[in-house]
């Protein structure tokens, strides 16, 4: 494994904001850590980067313990939500910063800048001021700067959080294609499940400093580990039920469940996409309280 966290723990006062977390990231894998504010996801990223010391446990990269290794020696690329570009430098100066700090020649710096500007879709933009860039262009420059030193692991902290939805959706597709083409190993944190599912090979959901669930986007979406994960993913129809055979007795009435469903007292999730509105005498009794037009569909 390229990255391995073993019992990683960070305490602020008496509270464990990262609580004995075990996490592995394989080479060329894209892992998105997902969770609400205060779940510990950004602290996890900072601990891997060397910006937050551990109170217990350890972080290893390529099997080497990173205890005592400063952030600038860890061969990591880090991109923040607000990009943190250098305002006094032009686009080329921002991208060349990492290679220059590692002793690259002027020719090597220039070649790397041109290569990355082409890669992120900004050819010829090297002399532009960062203040003159749009939000999407700044995001691309920040990504190019993070990739410039050829890091073993690229870490993204809410990378698209300040962009509008349509631009975020477009850039997620571009990032996914770019990481696949480069074979980049990525550890990203976000609170946006749509962004995580579109970008990641594996999604890690965190709650109160611990990992609540880890799996492929499809596994997490189809089989939430518990009611917390289900509700965090936006499923509000979560209720206690008694399962017998292929029927669950819920507060709404009896609903069908999969053949392999666990029996007895369970928590049942009814997905909105699995509900059909039928005549009053043909299904579960309900009252339509509100309807909201969502463009492609109507939420009831």
Beta bridge partners of 270: none
Where does the pLDDT of residue 269 fall: very low under 50, low under 70, confident under 90, or very high at 90 and above? confident
- For 283, what's the count of Cα atoms within 13 Å in the CB-facing half-sphere? 10
pTM assigned to the model? 0.87
Say if CB 255 and CB 291 are below 8 A apart: no
Statement: residue 116 has pLDDT above 90: yes
Compute the distance between CA of residue 48 and CA of residue 13 in angstroms, rounded to an integer: 21
User: Superfamily for 3-222?
Assistant: P-loop containing nucleotide triphosphate hydrolases (3.40.50.300)
DSSP annotation of 129 reads B
Span(s) in the chain for CATH 3.40.50.300: 3-222
Q: Which of 161-170, 206-215, 228-237, 286-295 has the highest mean pLDDT?
A: 206-215
Compute the distance between CA of residue 256 and CA of residue 189 in angstroms, rounded to an integer: 36
Could you read off the pLDDT of 4-56 as tens digits, one per residue? Answer: 999 999 999 889 999 999 999 999 999 999 999 999 999 999 999 999 999 99
Say if CB 190 and CB 161 are below 8 A apart: yes
| Angle between helix 135-147 and helix 91-101 axes, rounded to 10 deg | 20
pLDDT at 282: 77
């Amino acid at each position: 494994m390229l990255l391995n966290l073993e019992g990683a723990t960070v305490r602020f006062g008496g509270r464990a904001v990262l609580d004995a977390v075990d996490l592995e990231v394989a080479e060329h894998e894209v892992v998105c850590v997902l969770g609400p504010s205060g779940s510990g996801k950004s602290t996890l990223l900072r601990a891997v980067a060397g910006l937050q010391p551990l109170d217990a446990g350890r972080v290893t990269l390529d099997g080497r313990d990173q205890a005592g290794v400063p952030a600038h020696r860890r061969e990591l690329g880090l991109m923040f939500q607000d990009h943190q570009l250098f305002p006094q430098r032009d686009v080329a100066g921002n991208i060349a910063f990492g290679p220059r700090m590692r002793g690259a020649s002027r020719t090597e710096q220039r070649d790397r800048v041109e290569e990355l500007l082409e890669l992120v879709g900004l050819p010829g933009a090297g002399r532009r001021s960062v203040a003159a860039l749009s939000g999407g262009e700044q995001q691309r420059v920040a990504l190019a700067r993070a990739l410039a030193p050829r890091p073993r692991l690229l870490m993204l902290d809410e990378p698209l959080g300040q962009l509008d939805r349509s631009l975020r959706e477009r850039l997620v597709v571009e990032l996914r294609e770019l990481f696949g083409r480069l074979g980049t190993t990525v550890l990203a944190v976000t609170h946006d499940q749509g962004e995580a599912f579109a970008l990641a090979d594996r999604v890690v959901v965190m709650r109160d400093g611990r990992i609540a669930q880890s799996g492929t986007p499809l596994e997490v979406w189809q089989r939430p580990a518990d009611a917390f994960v289900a509700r965090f993913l936006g499923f509000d129809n979560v209720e206690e039920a008694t399962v017998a055979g292929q029927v669950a007795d819920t507060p709404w009435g009896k609903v069908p469940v999969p053949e392999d469903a666990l029996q007895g007292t369970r928590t049942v999730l009814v997905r909105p996409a699995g509900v059909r509105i039928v005549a009053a005498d043909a299904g579960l009794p309900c009252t339509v309280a509100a309807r909201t037009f969502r463009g492609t569909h109507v939420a009831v």
